[in-house]
Structure 1
């Protein structure tokens, strides 16, 4: 059921691991990620994979959009193929040199082959491997398969975490909508109270100084105040931002709908879009608070700002 609610959400923090065995050996891939504005890949591989870092990077890109992802990958060749390689040319050179030295000294001795193996350059740390194009292609496919398997597990974990965050964000949206609705009901009373206070002050002034005041002047002053404190447009825009946020969060916004193949979301960087919408929500909330000039409305504004800040912290952890 959670997949239906938030099919495209992923947290930027998570981990995944895969281990596969085959003719190429045993490949272990571990992924861990933390927050980052873009995508940053940190590869840590053993010597057997140094030549295949491009294969690993290619398998990751397109499956991960944002975050600092650390990749630990090791490839252990099959038993018998992980032995050091003997450099026969180096052995021959050492043997000829030693033979010439023995002949020059007129000493009857035999060359110790085991001793030759300890000399520099005789044994190579590289494992024996087939360097044909076909062998390299098999190895590339094997490595890509292991990386994709790790990414799939990695993304499942990140999606599970994101679903929990999505539910909290939905709750915060409802809180903001409820507070905005209460502000909407309070707004007309602000102008009415201002008019009542203004009349009270004018009547008091008239009683003290017997000064005439035209009703039209009172109406004009009340109208000016009403124009300055009108928050209807800001409330409308805030409601629009809330609706947009919800549609992007739930994957129902047209820009975030599935592609023709139905297998991928068109815009995966949901977190960046939600963060931008939150900025707009905060801007409208600030304007409402500064224009309303009412203690009760100010109380609701504080609660809305707190909810927005909680949402911002969560959104910054979404891919």
Structure 2
């Protein structure tokens, strides 16, 4: 599920002063069937990559998640003029090099700042601040994903109700289709008896017609499919109400719903029943697309 969280933390200063250093952390999550983790860590934080992966993997099971962590040095990271002794040393070295290599380029200001001992990040153990910031960000991200999950659950519950309504429409169609087909069989057998001589008695003809109608009824009977479909819908509604990590179970139930809708369509003996099967498949496909985003 989608979500975003941003945390900024000021690490504790041993002297109790505001050092101006800030640790920033951002989490972004978009839909994905599996957990796909991408890390963008500042150089000072790269040694803690394993910890970050472990914490995110323990908190989240699905989603394409991007973790971005950076260090803001504040005033300590501002450009400062190198010491005069360092600049004198650089000038002396440059003169020595150009004495042997007259075509060598002169040092730029950027070179002087970089080589003259530019202030870098203070040496600090970032493990505890990073762990604290990541825990806070994960909590905020899960809250954002929970809000998204409530919206998805409401949509899925609505599709469940629509599927139930379609199943109720399909139920009374089969007995009527069987009755109509039984009448057609009887009419055909009567016409056959009238068109040609036959040694069969009318009772035998009628019994044969009824047997054919019964076999036809068994072929088009969708009562079992509708019963199983209702059972799957009940389980989906129960899981959505219960909550928790239900994504993989919902995946399986959606596959089962699709199988029952396919079977109902293959047994269809009328255009109306075919349309119901198609409508069911459309709703089930909508559910399948969203279920892949649920943990």
Q: TM-score range by the shorter chain?
A: 0.7 to 0.9
Residue 173 of structure 1 corresponds to which residue in structure 2?
A: 160
Question: What is the rounded CA distance, in whole Å, between the counterparts of 2:145 and 2:271 in structure 1?
Answer: 42
Question: What is the rounded CA distance, in whole Å, between the counterparts of 1:63 and 1:21 in structure 2?
Answer: 24
CA shift at 1:29, angstroms? 1.1
Of 148, 153, 167, 2:140 maps to 153
The answer for unaligned runs of 5 or more in structure 1 is 1-11, 86-90, 102-114, 131-135, 253-264
Of 109, 121, 128, 1:127 maps to 121
The answer for unaligned runs of 5 or more in structure 2 is 14-20, 81-85, 97-108
Contact preservation (8 Å) 2:6, 2:137: yes
CA shift at 1:32, angstroms? 1.2
SS of 2:58 mapped into structure 1: coil
Residue 33 of structure 2 corresponds to which residue in structure 1?
A: 37
Residue 197 of structure 1 corresponds to which residue in structure 2?
A: 184
TM-score, structure 1 as length reference: 0.74
Contact preservation (8 Å) 2:4, 2:29: yes
Of 205, 208, 212, 1:221 maps to 212
CA shift at 1:232, angstroms? 1.9
Of 268, 271, 278, 2:254 maps to 278
Q: Deviations over 1:154-194 (max 9, x none)?
A: 12111112211111110110111111122112221121111
Question: What is the rounded CA distance, in whole Å, between the counterparts of 1:251 and 1:120 in structure 2?
Answer: 59
Question: What is the rounded CA distance, in whole Å, between the counterparts of 1:284 and 1:119 in structure 2?
Answer: 72
Question: What is the rounded CA distance, in whole Å, between the counterparts of 1:120 and 1:31 in structure 2?
Answer: 32
CA shift at 1:121, angstroms? 5.5
Contact preservation (8 Å) 2:32, 2:63: yes
CA shift at 1:306, angstroms? 1.4
Q: Does 2:196 correspond to 1:209?
A: yes
Contact preservation (8 Å) 1:84, 1:123: no
Residue 277 of structure 2 corresponds to which residue in structure 1?
A: 301
Residue 16 of structure 1 corresponds to which residue in structure 2?
A: 5
